[in-house]
Amino acid sequence: MDRVMGLLVFDSTSLALKTEKALKEARIPCAVIPTPVEITSDCGISLLLREEWVEEAKEVLASAQCEGHLLVYPFEHQVG
């Protein structure tokens, strides 16, 4: 079963971790996953967000000045 999600990919691991911290401080749940092979990225990890959190995450990242990421949305993520 596929589920529509948001996927954040990054230029570096340190930026991915900084972004994860900013999202968690804003109480936006996210999961660290390996960057899918079909997506080109300089960093091997990505953050997966549920669809309902994508807009709020975009606002948090803009205000936290987290740059160097790409939001892939919609992203079809296989569940189960």
Phi-psi region of 65 (alpha: psi -120 to 50; beta: other; left: phi over 0): left
Which tokens is 28 given? Answer: 């936006």
Domain ranges in the chain? 2-78
Q: What is the pTM of this model?
A: 0.86
| 74 prior amide bond cis, ω within 30 | yes
Per-residue pLDDT tens, the chain, 80 aa: give them. 468 899 999 888 888 999 999 999 999 999 999 998 888 667 889 999 999 999 999 999 888 777 778 888 888 877 66
Buried b or exposed e, range 29-59, using 16+ CB within 10 angstroms: ebeeeebeeeeebebebbbbbbeebbeebee
The pLDDT value recorded for residue 24 is 95
Under a CB-based contact definition with an 8 Å cutoff, are residues 7 and 46 in contact? Answer: yes
The fold adopted by the segment(s) 2-78 is: Alpha-Beta Plaits (3.30.70)
